[in-house]
């Protein structure tokens, strides 16, 4: 075997190892969010009181932004495979900017929730907004009725026994899970933004080519994964929540 063949073989092995490491990382993240999703479902089914609140529109805007960023980085990968380094670099910059826009939308959504009384650690009774439109509260799966500041079971037709005192000390578990899921996703996305900055810097330095672009492939796979994960989380929260 010639020296050139040995070098090529070693290069292929390194590329394969990096790809396998990427798949392993993505699998670990999937398991993390599967565990959180399962815990969410179990908590909701076993909770005495559960708050169903309207998801701010900013989170839906985030979805459009991250899908656009996924398209941008895919074109960056296609461009670098064709040897179009400058085009790939510009698309990496665009992806980075869209990632920043996603972050701004997330922050806007979190601020809106906090303005309505929903925090990482909060009380069921602190829920704000218009009842029936912005939020509802259920007791063991049955939606409560609100009359003035008092909450009643739907079977209490005369509204003689409010359940406010019973709810007073209950934590808003739904709110807590919402922050854990969305902030948890953003933490992984923040890591992706750092990766994008490194990729962009290396692209500007001419470190990638049609023959050598494993780093961009890794970044693209990770970013696609983050986009898919966000769509899953939003749909999960919207339909299960």
153 within a domain of the structure (yes/no): no
In a domain, 154, yes or no: no
Residue 168 covered by a domain: no
Q: Structural domain tally of the chain? A: 1
Ranges in the chain, pLDDT < 70: 1-11, 241
**Residue 163: inside a domain, yes or no?**
no
For position 112, which CATH number holds?
Answer: 1.20.120.80
Q: Under a CB-based contact definition with an 8 Å cutoff, are residues 72 and 220 in contact?
A: no
Q: Residue 26 domain-assigned?
A: yes
pLDDT of 15 reads 80
In a domain, 100, yes or no: yes
pTM: 0.90
pLDDT of residue 5: 52
Q: Is residue 24 part of a domain?
A: yes
23-29: Cβ within 8 A, 24+ apart:
25/222, 26/221, 26/222, 26/225, 29/188, 29/225, 29/229
Give the pLDDT of residue 12: 74
Query: Is residue 138 assigned to a domain?
Result: no
Residue range of the domain that includes 84: 3-47+56-125+173-240
Cβ–Cβ < 8 Å for 208, 216: yes
């Amino acid at each position: 075997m010639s020296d050139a063949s040995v070098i090529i073989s070693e290069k292929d092995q390194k590329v394969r190892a990096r790809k396998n490491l990427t798949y392993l990382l993505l699998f670990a993240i999937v398991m993390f969010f599967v565990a959180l999703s399962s815990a969410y479902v179990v908590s909701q089914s076993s909770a005495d009181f559960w708050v169903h609140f309207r998801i701010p529109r900013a989170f839906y805007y985030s979805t459009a932004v991250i899908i656009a960023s996924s398209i941008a980085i895919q074109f960056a990968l296609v461009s670098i495979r064709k040897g179009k380094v400058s085009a790939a670099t510009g698309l990496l910059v665009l992806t980075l900017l869209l990632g920043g826009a996603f972050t701004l939308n997330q922050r806007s959504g979190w601020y809106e929730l906090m303005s309505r009384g929903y925090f990482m650690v909060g009380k069921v009774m602190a829920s704000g907004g218009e009842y029936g439109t912005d939020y509802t509260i259920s007791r063991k799966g049955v939606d409560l009725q609100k009359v003035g500041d008092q909450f009643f079971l739907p079977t209490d037709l005369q509204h003689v026994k409010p359940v406010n005192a019973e709810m007073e000390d209950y934590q808003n578990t739904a709110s807590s899970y919402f922050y854990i899921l969305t902030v948890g996703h953003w933490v992984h996305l923040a890591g992706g933004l750092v990766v994008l900055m490194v990729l962009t810097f290396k692209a500007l330095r001419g470190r990638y080519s049609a023959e050598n672009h494993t780093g961009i492939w890794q970044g693209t796979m990770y970013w696609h994964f983050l986009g898919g994960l966000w769509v899953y989380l939003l749909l999960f929260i919207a339909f299960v929540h």
